[in-house]
Amino acid sequence: MLLRLAGVVLVLAAATVGWLILGATIGVRTGSSDLSQREQLAAIWGAEQAQPAPSFTYETSHIDKKGRTTIDRSSVVPASSRVNVDLALDPRQKGLLWYNTYAVRFAATYRVVNPGASTRLQVAFPFPSDSATYDDFTLDVDGVRIPVTSASGTIAASVPESRGRTSTLTVAYRSHGIGIWSYRFGDGVVAVRDFTLVVRTNFRAIDFPPRTLAPTTEQQIPGGWQLTWRYRNLVGGFGVGMTFPPRLQPGPLAERITLWAPLSLAFYVFVMLVITTLRRIDLHPINYFFLAAAFFAFHLLFAYTVDRMPIGWAFILCSVVSMFLTVSYLRLVVGLRFAAVEAALAQFFYLILFSYALFDEGYSGLSITIGAIVTLFITMQVTGRIDWSERFAAKPKAAAA
Contact 394, 387 (CB under 8 A): no
Region 95-116 average pLDDT: 91
Give the residues across from 196 on adjacent strands.
Answer: 82, 230
Lowest mean pLDDT among 57-71, 158-172, 260-274, 334-348: 57-71
Query: Which residues have C-beta within 8 Å of that of residue 100, sequence separation ≥ 6?
Result: 89, 91, 178, 179, 243, 244, 245, 246, 247
C-alpha–C-alpha distance, residues 91 and 98, integer Å: 7
Region 260-287 average pLDDT: 92
Q: What angle, rounded to 10 degrees, do the helices at 285-305 and 311-333 form?
A: 160
| Tens digit of each residue's pLDDT (9 = 90 or more) over 351-381 | 999 999 999 988 899 999 999 999 999 999 9
Helix boundaries (H) for 189-310 = 250-259, 261-278, 285-305
Q: What angle, rounded to 10 degrees, do the helices at 285-305 and 261-278 form?
A: 150
More confident: 167 or 103 = 103
Residue 116, φ and ψ in degrees, nearest 5: -160, -135
Reported as type and span, the H/E element at residue 76 is: strand 69-76
Query: Which residues have C-beta within 8 Å of that of residue 324, sequence separation ≥ 6?
Result: none
C-alpha–C-alpha distance, residues 296 and 321, integer Å: 11
Query: Which residues have C-beta within 8 Å of that of residue 128, sequence separation ≥ 6?
Result: 49, 50, 51, 52, 175, 177
More confident: 400 or 185 = 185
**Model's pTM, two decimal places?**
0.82
C-alpha–C-alpha distance, residues 123 and 137, integer Å: 16
> What average pLDDT does the chain have?
89
Domains of the chain and CATH, by start: 2-31+249-393 (no CATH), 48-242 (2.60.40)
DSSP 319-370: HHHHHHHHHHHHHHHT-HHHIIIIIHHHHIIIIIIHHHHTTSHHHHHHHHHH
C-alpha–C-alpha distance, residues 258 and 315, integer Å: 13
C-alpha–C-alpha distance, residues 111 and 159, integer Å: 14
* Range among 93-97, 163-167, 170-174 with highest mean pLDDT value: 170-174
> What pLDDT sits at residue 401?
43
| pLDDT-based confidence at residue 282 (cuts at 50, 70, 90) | confident
Question: Nearest Cα to 180, choosing from 123, 129, 224, 125?
Answer: 129
| pLDDT-based confidence at residue 162 (cuts at 50, 70, 90) | low
